[in-house]
A and B are shown apart, each in its own frame.
Chain A
Amino acid sequence: MSNISDTPASLGVDRQTFLKPVRQALGRISGQAVPAPPAVDPQLVRLASASEDVVSLFAQRAGEVGMTVCRIKSDELIRTVSELLEKVGAKRVAASVGSLPQAVSLNDSLRRKGVEVVDWRATPGFAEQYGLDAGITDVHAALAETGTLICSSDAGHSRGLSLVPPVHVAIVRQSDILPDMVDYWARLRGIPGRELPSSQAFITGPSKTADIEGILITGVHGPGQVFIVVVEGV
């Protein structure tokens, strides 16, 4: 396994040459045993727990970082999303392919209301997404403690829909809201043998900068507005 890259040796060094000064500084030899790393005690690290009203906490924290949250029942999803799109003047949108949007035939329903819904999978990369007014995605999880959305990449979820369009509408299942990041890692571990997605984006607010004189501006490169629709009871 030591020669894993096809870079000619002159451009870098091989793994063992690279590790030699590391081991010298540490006074270790190759393959020497390593004690267990410091235990991450969930009691200490957890800053929010399931005993709290997790949905309200999530809504509060997501609001604090500048995202707009509404809580609805599942039969209100189409109406809510189309109202949001109307509010921001989004005429051209695309949506991720997930069980929640599909269950309500989101794309077809929006098209019937006169919204142009683009099939982002027709072209590779983000090409189709630069011209969108809004990206609609479901999420893989949400964290109450920090008000965070977790968007992972897979066949139905482009890396771009939560990033490229100026508006991001995130649909969050109530049961996907976890109290703390600790719970997310536990959930990942609970899926043995599952290949990790190439991208897991933890999104905590609209795109922001304070580079010019410390003044907060939203919508620098990513979406300037993030709307979260929490669907209760699912």
Chain B
Amino acid sequence: MSSTPSESTTSGHDTGKPVGLSVNGHDLLFPPLPYDIHARADKATADKQLLDFVHVATYRKDVTRRQVTSAAFGEKHGDFRELGAAIKQHTLDHLDHYIEKFVDNATAAGVRVHFAQDAAQANAICLDIARRAGAKLCVKSKSMVTEETQLLPQLEAIGVETVETDLGEFILQLDHDAPSHIVTPMIHKNRQSVARAFERELGAPYTEDPQELTQIARAHLREKYRKADLGISGGNFLVAETGSVVICTNEGNGRFCTSAPRVHVAFVGIEKLVPTFEHLGVMLKLLARTSTGQPLTVYTHVMTGPRRAHEHGGPDEMHVILLDNGRTEILKPETREMLRCIRCGACLNACPVYRKVGGHSYGAVYSGPIGALITPMFRGLANYPDLPNASSLCGACYEACPVKINIPKYLIQLRAEMVSKRITKWSDRLVYRMWARSLGRSWTYRLGGWAQKLFFRWQARVAGTLELGDPYRSRGWLNDLPGPAGGWTSQRDMPTPPAKSFRQWWDEQNRP
């Protein structure tokens, strides 16, 4: 069993060309709206190096996930996913109850719980905590929620130096870049760009050795942990029964950020709740194996309140900022299932579209199939009209999802909503309508098939590719169709129908 999927020896890419699309981190995740996917997707698909990187990395992770989950769970895998889905669904179905329970128990354990309905409130609460603590230096571990609220520039603006400490996020911060994958944020960058960033920003000697690069980061960030007076983390789970915050990390920066500074602030979305430790255990068993193929992440840190009087190390103050920021909109019955997501990233790794366009093409904090669902929900369907269509509906994401979110079903639901709300272009809607009409009646279907056959075979005859012979088998090939159909033939040939159709063959066979 390959329990450490990341043990790979990808050969160095020595072209020296930076992999990545832009260096403006903010615009990458918060582009002007409405967002048009095409410019970035075209750029990404034309970047062979980026494609190689993302494709190889995601493909490997996807294979590892299959191997590791089948080795660990065997025949139980289906039941495990059912249970994981049921736990999250139950908690969401009664979320008010579990939020109350969590708040009571966390408060009893000494946590200050804050309630933020949107990003602005969450950031304001955090800035207030930072001011009261007189914070000068903040160390931060990985948190998608703080990407969502765009916390960092605000902390910097009030004079709190804020350092990302997850190695990938640290490098992205130095390069003014943005994460392109929920779990492996700098999946789109190569070692040369890291080497240059460290040389430029840290004054480190240029080296392309990942081991040396890591040691440079370690030494630099240790000094930050020593001096930091504020630590910020996200939260993978909240345990209602005990008021615990759980973070799952591999590098150890999460433990530092939540233990070394005097004040710890956790930003957590309300969908992260689970009822009890036993339920947490089920989710932990699913998360790491599905995400990175590990039995558990190296550090699974369960935090229940600040340092006790008799304890040594740990924050004197612990704050949890519970964030809504559009989640209650998704909590409605029609879309609630989407909130089961535990951000494992398996759907990104499994997705043939993500592999081809990379995370930044989605133009949002959450990318990949789950991002294509929740981004339009968070930020408006009319603002992200391309995302529900950025899927082949192959279902690989659904199959990979540890909590069985039926992503293809909801993508179709969003597409239907786009048509009913007239977000889809009128010309597209007209085509859909005509299509539905012609497929809905036998004679229109036959007429359409006949017209298509005539047109294609005539085109093939002109092109000289029409095969003659068996009327049921021989066909022709088109490689240059006009108009919108050219989108098909730019990638592959279009076969013409044979001279006689299946229906004609059927009638001939059954003729008395």
Contact = CB atoms under 8 A, between A and B. Distances in A.
A200 B278 contact: no
B10 A213 contact: yes
Nearest to B168: A211
Contacts of A146: 295-296
Contacts of B87: 37-38
A179 to B, nearest CB: 13
Nearest to A210: B6
B114 A7 contact: yes
Contacts of B276: 37
A182 B279 CA distance: 10
Contact of B299 (A40, A126, A201): A201
Interface in A110-125: 120-121, 124-125
Interface string B89-112: 011011111011001100101001
B503 interface: no
A208 B103 CA distance: 33
Contacts of A13: 115-117, 121
Contacts of A158: 312-313
A18 B95 CA distance: 12
A45 B301 contact: no
Interface string A201-234: 1111111111111111101111100000000000
A95 interface: no
Interface string B60-89: 100000000000110010011001001100
B489 interface: no
B310 interface: yes
Interface stretch (A76-84, A99-107, A148-156): A148-156
A191 interface: no
B114 A40 contact: no
A147 B104 CA distance: 34
Interface string B238-271: 0000101000001111011001100000000010
Contacts of B171: 211-212
Contacts of A210: 5-6, 8, 184, 292
B396 interface: no
B165 interface: yes
Contacts of B279: 37-38, 40
A98 interface: no
Contacts of A155: 310-312
A124 B83 CA distance: 43
A61 B289 CA distance: 14
A170 interface: no
Given A124-B312, A204-B300, A212 B213 contact: yes
Contacts of A18: 99, 115, 117, 322, 324
Interface in A28-65: 28, 30, 32, 34-35, 37-38, 40-41, 44-45, 47, 61, 64-65
Given A65-B3, A196-B109, A202-B300, A38 B313 contact: no
B37 interface: no
A195 B308 contact: yes
A209 B211 CA distance: 10
B295 A204 contact: yes
Contacts of A215: 6, 8-10, 210
The DSSP consensus for interface residues of chain A is loop
A121 B171 CA distance: 35
A153 B295 contact: no
Interface in B187-206: 190-191, 194
Contacts of B387: none
A176 interface: no
Contacts of A127: 226
Contact count band on A: 35 or more
B390 interface: no
A43 B273 CA distance: 24
A133 interface: no
Interface in A124-182: 124-127, 130, 145-148, 153-155, 157-160, 163, 181-182
A47 to B, nearest CB: 6
Interface in B167-186: 167-168, 171, 184-186
Contacts of B103: 1, 4, 15
Nearest to B244: A196
Contact of A216 (B6, B76, B304): B6
Interface of A: 1, 4-8, 10-15, 17-19, 21-28, 30, 32, 34-35, 37-38, 40-41, 44-45, 47, 61, 64-66, 120-121, 124-127, 130, 145-148, 153-155, 157-160, 163, 181-182, 185, 188, 195-217, 219-223
Given A130-B226, A153-B308, A214-B10, 7 more contacts: A12-B116, A22-B99, A25-B332, A64-B4, A125-B313, A159-B255, A212-B214
Interface of B: 1, 3-10, 12-13, 53, 56-57, 60, 72-73, 76, 79-80, 83, 86-87, 90-91, 93-97, 99-100, 103-104, 107, 109, 112-117, 121-122, 124-125, 128, 165-168, 171, 184-186, 190-191, 194, 210-211, 213-215, 217-218, 221-222, 225-226, 242, 244, 250-253, 255-256, 259-260, 270, 275-279, 281-282, 284-285, 292, 294-308, 310-314, 318, 321-322, 324, 328-329, 331-333, 336
29 contacts: A12-B125, A12-B321, A19-B96, A26-B95, A27-B333, A28-B97, A37-B276, A38-B86, A44-B76, A45-B285, A47-B285, A126-B260, A126-B313, A147-B295, A153-B311, A155-B310, A159-B314, A160-B313, A163-B252, A197-B304, A197-B311, A199-B301, A201-B255, A209-B251, A210-B5, A210-B8, A211-B168, A219-B218, A223-B252
6 pairs of A and B residues whose beta carbons are closest in the complex:
A222-B252, A210-B6, A211-B168, A18-B115, A221-B252, A25-B331
